[in-house]
């Protein structure tokens, strides 16, 4: 969806820091966040146009 990376990972689930950190580490997104000036607040654009194919695949929500 057109929103932040965090919004896309969480989808409509409530924020749970422990779960979120596990997802970030498991999907190796911590490296991507360091490369983006806005980190997980970066807006991905429509259909993830601002992300690489691998990043798109790693940003998938599985609610806790």
Bridge partners of residue 4, in order along the sequence: 43
Percentages (nearest 5) of helix, strand, coil residues in the chain:
55, 5, 40
Q: Are 51 and 59 a contacting pair, CB within 8 Å?
A: yes
* Predicted pLDDT at 17: 94
Report the alpha-carbon distance of residue 64 to residue 50 in Å, rounded. 26
Number of independent structural domains in the chain:
1
**CA 5 to chain centroid:** 4
**Per-residue pLDDT tens for 35-44?**
888 898 988 8
> Is 44 among the domain residues?
yes
> Is 50 among the domain residues?
yes
**Per-residue pLDDT tens for 8-37?**
888 878 899 999 999 888 888 888 888 888
> Is 48 among the domain residues?
yes
> Is 17 among the domain residues?
yes
Its domain, for residue 13, covers 5-58
State the pTM of this model: 0.70
> Is 64 among the domain residues?
no
> Is 63 among the domain residues?
no
What confidence tier does 46 reach under pLDDT thresholds 50, 70, 90?
low
* Predicted pLDDT at 26: 87
């Amino acid at each position: 969806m057109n929103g932040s990376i965090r919004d896309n990972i969480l989808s409509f689930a409530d924020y749970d820091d422990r779960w979120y950190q596990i997802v970030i580490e498991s999907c190796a997104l911590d490296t991507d966040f360091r490369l983006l000036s806005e980190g997980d607040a970066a807006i991905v654009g429509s259909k993830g146009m601002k992300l690489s194919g691998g990043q798109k695949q790693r940003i998938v929500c599985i609610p806790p």
